Amino acid sequence: MKKVIMGNHAVSYGVRASDVKVISAYPITPQTQIVELLSEMCAKGELEAKFIAVESEHSALTACVGASAAGVRTFTATSSQGLLLMHEIIHWAVGARLPIVLVNVNRAVGPPWSIWTDQNDSLSQRDTGWLQLYCESNQETQDTIVQAFKIAESVMLPVMVVLDAFFLSHTFEIVDILEPEQVRPFLPPYKPKNRIDVDDPHAFGNLASPGEYFELRYMIEKAMEASRDVVRDVDREFEQRFGRGYGVVKPYRCDDAEIILVTSGTVASTARAVVDEMRGEGVKIGSLKIRVFRPFPFEEVYQVLSKTKKVAVIDRNISFGHHGIFYQEVKSALYGRTNVPIIGYITGLGGRDVTPRVIRSIAEKAMNDRNAEPDINWIGVKI
Amino acid sequence: MGEKITFKSFKEMPLCAMSIADMTYNFTGSWRNVRPYYDFKVSPCRLGCPAAEDIQRYIYLATQGDFEQAWKAIIESNPMPSVTGRVCFHPCMEKCTRKDYDQAINIPAVERAIGDMGLDNPKWIKKARATKKEKIAVIGGGPAGLSCAFYLARAGYPVTIFEAAAALGGMLRWGIPEYRLPNELLDRVVQSILESGPITVKTGTALGTDVALDMLEKEYAAVFVGVGLTRSRAMGVAGEEGPGVEHGLEFLRRVNGGEKVDPGKSVVVVGGGNTAMDVARCARRAGSEVTVVYRRTMNEMPAIADEIEEAEKEGVFFHFLAAPKTITRGGSGRVTVVFQQMKLGQPDESGRRRPVPDGDKTFTMEVDKLFTAIGEEGDAASFGKAVETDGALIRTKGAFGETLKAKIFAGGDIVTGAASVVEAIAAGRKAAERIGRMLSKQPEPAAEEPRTISIENINTAYFSKAKRTLPPRISVEAALEGFREIHAGFDEELLGRETARCFSCGVCNFCDNCWVFCPDVAVKRLDDQYEFNYDYCKGCLVCVTECPRSAISTREEGR
Amino acid sequence: MIEIRTHGRGGQGAVIASEILAEAFFREKKFVQAFPAFGVERRGAPVVSFTRVSDGEIRERCEIYEPDHLIVLDPILLDTINITTGLKEGGWIVINTNRESMDNEALGKFHVATVDANKIALKYGLGSRSAPIVNTAIVGAFAGATKLVGLDAVLDAVEEFVPLRKENNRKAAEEAYHAVAFISK
């Protein structure tokens, strides 16, 4: 059934459709409505899940770790400082190989306090071993939640689904809402191989000597690598079943493009409008949305970008001392395989609006910029 | 004990860190380098009690509503808590740890309440049968003798009490006024003791006149002498013999015997001890104007502070630093007393500053009656040659009232000089225990230095400040109308409120903190105790920190 | 694509108004998008929210700087901020006011419609005298003035989006739809 709902509620409906059994979360703007609606659903019995109220995000994720280790499907949502407070347990969930799904609503990190969007909170969790999927619409958000559980449970790694604060979280648009009965054949109940079970006791989280730890890390990386195919296949199966697919990356009018804008999140959506506008003016331009950030889709990115003449990466984030993070990733994906100039642009930090005009200015600047710039290109900064 | 498994390749490993098999080959308890263990100390109040009553324990039992067991816990050390709860000078409260936090627990009020419950529930005590053949004589039916008889009878020894007076109780009956210890209550206490075992009583039988100590020594397997101090000490002042001057104890004996006394309009009491206070307050009740004259200051008064305070409330005047010098009598029947003014000199052997005459300063009082209350002494003549005496007191050796004669034991004021009820009770019990060991040829227990705690060992974060609970009392006006008890006892609500204040120093009271805080779930809660599971205790000692009362100690492993 | 910007004050229901409007267009098979400009929401502070309507997928995910139409829930805002910034020539401005005429010169380039949404809201018991909730009435007025969306769709949207007093809100929207007055057409 199609309804006009906000992005946060699209998340809640995705969780409902996924038959989640334990939800634990701590409220934080701009995420709060996600768990508000979920707790309502639990209270009304629309979702047969245990909602565990806790006193911090650290505890929220810890509760999910415990529940997931006990063998049930778990979910939490957070944002910004909350995600950072979870950081210790973010690592734990990976090492314990727990298929938790977490939604992070991208919100800039303080100080100064900000409630508006940028990607530094989730990208600062880049090296923890979580899969990260960035969404651009409410429909994609709901659908990605469902996909995320299937992916997580097949590779036994946690998955973070990411959406922009306000530009998605609080934006109302039409969503074709998934019902649990529709989803069940796609996402069967979670049945872990190992779980905490009083009838079959084991020690968990043990001390691992140098003789064992290394191998366990190796296995995490192997699982991450294996997840590339899983992410792609799950999306394809989802598309076959529900008619909506999102891809690992989403190229738009790239086939003959001489310049390609690399984007993520809601900027990817707005950029497509700019591509159409400039194509109408005869500019051979395309855009590439990176939906799956971890595992990074090296091959897919290479396949698209190696055929163009120039790449402009738009980052709504910054790795202080080393450019935007998507820029770093794209460069390393293409390193040694092509000589296409890659130029990085940083914009939209702390919720600064990334309008078609801003994106167009990046495209126009990129067309004139000759080669890879050693310096960061700041778009819109008032200096 | 599980077995260690070694992986041959990483492919055998599980996805995450988890044991494949039983981990009991390597308990986490092996990490521990320090071990906590339950180690109950002796609470300071118990150390402060001459009778060593297990105060912490009976208060704890009362908090659990188990008054029968609480009463039994007291009876282990003291057969008459109803008495000591009323008249004891409660040195326990001086030691109470709570004194260093807000106010000491009102221990006597708790003891009195539980003691009175014991009197109201005669079924709580099971009468002991005479299981031993050795007969024992107890001379003197005061607190020392009653206590000794009680513990011997409980152990199965047939006991005969020889009492000079017509009724048992000694100083409790004759020396303490009814507003402090009602006769009717004392009768019940005595009755409860007599009913506890094979005790025969011979009243009106005085030592030295009706029975001789050396005869008893022959007839009985053991003899306990607890006759107390029977003679009032003389002041050594010219004119003290004669009308208008009376020993305070004589006066109290008449009052306690129910006589309607009339000491006259103005009365002076010489002395600063409990007898002086009792005499003064009894005289106030008879309508006299009373002045207590004491040769030192209020600070040196040996009387219980509460008694001094009550006497002041009841309108007794105090005149310090004065001692009678001469007493003369005029025709009016009144006595004229010349007092020497005193001052404090160097401390004497008791540590109190000795009073010395302040030059030749004197003053004169004309009163209807002068009571002396400067102490009592024993009647050495009554012992014959059966025991060695030291002045008018019996000389003992050791802590259990042993005299130089193997079969004769002694305790109470006749050994210590004028002391307290609780000390007499303790002496009686200790002698009884020693006699029992002697007759059954049991070895003496090894003396152990008791370990205790102080306020530094209490985790006061767990306690909120709360004032001492006071029992209801009658007004001073009502008190002066007769001999009603000043204080009522605690009802169960007040008892609950006051017992809840107890820190339970050094002794577990099942607060569950160790069990709750243990991060390794290594504390097991059994029916009546906790137990460490050392397989899993990692020695973090959170239990030690969070035990509010230092009932857990630690020791290093491998030592 | 139609882009509508709504101006109000915290507590008047401007954000919900933009959402009801989106829902109404959705019921007429349009693609829609609605969202507030996010500030620290405080009662009485100026609030802006946005509605996009299109026959196809809406890709722009940013605020609206050049709206086609304006909805103004508090006429005092006309004097305090430059509300018509970016408004396309010939666009509609639907204003909640009890004034019969507007002397704001800047409004001359636009179609201006007014409705006394406060009065209508109070008539149906929506909000208090000091803070009437006018969102349903103003959406009705917008539909009545612009005829961009039908009354039935508006009433259905009100039914869907308003949590309480659904019937009174419907009546307020309907009355405002008919009561809208035109200052310049």
List the domains of chain B with CATH numbers. Answer: 136-230+378-440 (3.50.50.60), 245-371 (3.50.50.60)
Burial of A306 (0-12, 13-18, 19+ CB in 10 A): middle
- A136 CA: distance to closest CA in chain C (Å): 9
pLDDT value of position B80: 98
How is residue B204 written in tokens?
């009106």
Question: Span B306-335, mean pLDDT?
Answer: 92
Classify residue A383: in a domain, yes or no: no
Q: Phi and psi for B361 in degrees, rounded to 5? A: -70, 130
**Same domain, yes or no, for A236 and A260?**
no
**Please, are residues A318 and A348 in contact by the beta-carbon 8 Å criterion?**
no
Residue in A30, A173, A353 closest to C63 by CB: A353
- Residue A173's domain spans which residues? 2-242
**Same domain, yes or no, for A189 and A281?**
no
C114 touches chain A (CB under 8 A): no
Residue B29 has pLDDT above 70, yes or no: yes
pLDDT value of position B316: 96
Q: Residue C41 — pLDDT band, cuts 50, 70, 90?
A: low
Give pLDDT tens digits for B109-129.
999 999 999 999 999 988 999
B13: nearest CA partner in chain A? A216
> Are residues C34 and A170, on separate chains, in Cβ contact within 8 Å?
no
Residue B7: list chain A partners with CB under 8 A. 212
> Are residues B7 and A212, on separate chains, in Cβ contact within 8 Å?
yes
> Are residues A354 and C62, on separate chains, in Cβ contact within 8 Å?
yes
Interface residues on A facing B, Cβ-Cβ cutoff 8 A = 95-98, 156, 193-194, 202-208, 212, 215-216, 218-219, 223
**Same domain, yes or no, for A232 and A262?**
no
A136: nearest CA partner in chain C? C61
**Please, are residues B516 and B500 in contact by the beta-carbon 8 Å criterion?**
no
Residue B67 has pLDDT above 90, yes or no: yes
> Are residues B19 and A203, on separate chains, in Cβ contact within 8 Å?
yes
Residue C62: list chain A partners with CB under 8 A. 167, 266, 270, 353-356
Q: Residue B21 — pLDDT band, cuts 50, 70, 90?
A: confident
**Same domain, yes or no, for A6 and A105?**
yes
> Are residues A203 and B23, on separate chains, in Cβ contact within 8 Å?
yes
Residue in C22, C38, C62 closest to A4 by CB: C22
**Same domain, yes or no, for A232 and A308?**
no
Alpha helices in chain A (DSSP H): 7-17, 32-44, 57-69, 80-85, 87-95, 120-123, 138-155, 180-183, 210-242, 265-280, 298-305, 325-334, 356-368
Residue A278 has pLDDT above 70, yes or no: yes
Q: Residue B382 — pLDDT band, cuts 50, 70, 90?
A: confident
Give pLDDT tens digits for C102-120.
767 777 789 999 999 999 9
How is residue B236 written in tokens?
């050594």
> Are residues C62 and A168, on separate chains, in Cβ contact within 8 Å?
no
Q: Residue A206 — pLDDT band, cuts 50, 70, 90?
A: confident
Residue A194: list chain B partners with CB under 8 A. 14-16, 18
**Same domain, yes or no, for A209 and A268?**
no
Residue in A166, A173, A270 closest to C38 by CB: A166
Structural domains in chain C plus CATH codes: 2-183 (3.40.920.10)
Q: How many CB atoms lie within 10 A of CB B271?
A: 25
Q: Any idea what the CATH number is for the domain that residue A79 is in?
A: 3.40.50.970
pLDDT value of position C7: 94
pLDDT value of position B9: 81
Question: Span B224-234, mean pLDDT?
Answer: 89
Q: Count the helix, strand and coil residues of chain A and give each as a percent rounded to the nearest 5.
A: 45, 20, 40
| H/E segment holding residue C154 | helix C151-161
A138: nearest CA partner in chain C? C33
- A305 CA: distance to closest CA in chain C (Å): 23
**Same domain, yes or no, for A13 and A133?**
yes
Residue B521: list chain A partners with CB under 8 A. none
pLDDT value of position B11: 80
Classify residue A13: in a domain, yes or no: yes
Q: What is the mean pLDDT of chain B?
A: 93
Of A209, A242, A275, the one marking the end of a domain is: A242
How is residue B146 written in tokens?
């009653």
**Please, are residues C136 and C118 in contact by the beta-carbon 8 Å criterion?**
no
Render the burial of B491-514: b for 16+ CB within 10 Å, e for the rest. Answer: eeebbeebbebbbbbbbbbeeebb
Interface probe, candidates B16, B521, B536, chain A, greatest A C-beta count within 10 A: B16
> Are residues A156 and B15, on separate chains, in Cβ contact within 8 Å?
yes
Q: Residue B28 — pLDDT band, cuts 50, 70, 90?
A: confident
Q: Residue B162 — pLDDT band, cuts 50, 70, 90?
A: very high
Handedness of CA B458, B461, B462, B466 (dihedral sign): positive
Classify residue A282: in a domain, yes or no: yes
**Same domain, yes or no, for A199 and A326?**
no
**Please, are residues C95 and C180 in contact by the beta-carbon 8 Å criterion?**
no
pLDDT value of position A121: 98
Q: Residue A211 — pLDDT band, cuts 50, 70, 90?
A: confident
CA distances from B447 to A135, A154, B399, B443 (A): 80, 71, 11, 12
C3 touches chain A (CB under 8 A): no
How is residue B223 written in tokens?
């003899």
| Residue B174, SS3 per DSSP | helix
- Of C145, C149, C170, the closest CA to residue C160 belongs to C170
| H/E segment holding residue A164 | strand A159-164
**Same domain, yes or no, for A127 and A271?**
no
Q: How many CB atoms lie within 10 A of CB B40?
A: 18
Give pLDDT tens digits for B489-539.
999 999 999 999 999 999 999 999 999 999 999 999 999 899 999 999 999
- A334 CA: distance to closest CA in chain B (Å): 32
- A188 CA: distance to closest CA in chain C (Å): 32
Of A182, A214, A242, the one marking the end of a domain is: A242
**Same domain, yes or no, for A268 and A229?**
no
**Same domain, yes or no, for A139 and A267?**
no
What type of residue sits at position B305?
A: A
pLDDT value of position B545: 95
Distance in angstroms (rounded) separating the CA atoms of residues A30 and A104: 10
Give pLDDT tens digits for B251-281.
999 999 889 999 999 999 999 999 999 999 9
Give pLDDT tens digits for A345-359.
999 999 999 999 999
- With an 8 Å CB cutoff and a minimum of 3 pairs, decide whether chains A and B touch: yes
Burial of B88 (0-12, 13-18, 19+ CB in 10 A): buried
Chains near A (3 or more Cβ pairs under 8 Å): B, C
C19 touches chain A (CB under 8 A): yes
Q: What is the mean pLDDT of chain A?
A: 96
> Are residues B7 and A202, on separate chains, in Cβ contact within 8 Å?
no
Question: Span A177-198, mean pLDDT?
Answer: 95
Interface probe, candidates A194, A213, A220, chain B, greatest B C-beta count within 10 A: A194
> Are residues C59 and A272, on separate chains, in Cβ contact within 8 Å?
yes
- C153 CA: distance to closest CA in chain A (Å): 14
> Are residues A171 and C35, on separate chains, in Cβ contact within 8 Å?
yes
Distance in angstroms (rounded) separating the CA atoms of residues C27 and C139: 14
pLDDT value of position B523: 97
Residue C31: list chain A partners with CB under 8 A. 173-174
C54 touches chain A (CB under 8 A): no
Q: Any idea what the CATH number is for the domain that residue A329 is in?
A: 3.40.50.920
> Are residues A206 and B17, on separate chains, in Cβ contact within 8 Å?
yes
Classify residue A303: in a domain, yes or no: yes
Residue A200: list chain B partners with CB under 8 A. none
Question: Span C20-44, mean pLDDT?
Answer: 89
Residue A199 has pLDDT above 70, yes or no: yes
Interface residues on B facing A, Cβ-Cβ cutoff 8 A = 7, 10, 13-20, 23
Of A208, A242, A276, the one marking the end of a domain is: A242
**Same domain, yes or no, for A233 and A367?**
no
pLDDT value of position C43: 72
A141-145, A370-374, B483-487: range with lowest mean pLDDT: A370-374
Number of domains in chain A: 2
Distance in angstroms (rounded) separating the CA atoms of residues C146 and C94: 9
Distance in angstroms (rounded) separating the CA atoms of residues B535 and B208: 69
Residue C23: list chain A partners with CB under 8 A. 4, 172
Q: Residue B1 — pLDDT band, cuts 50, 70, 90?
A: low
pLDDT value of position C83: 87
- With an 8 Å CB cutoff and a minimum of 3 pairs, decide whether chains C and B touch: no
Contacts of B541 (CB under 8 A, 6+ apart): B34, B36, B554
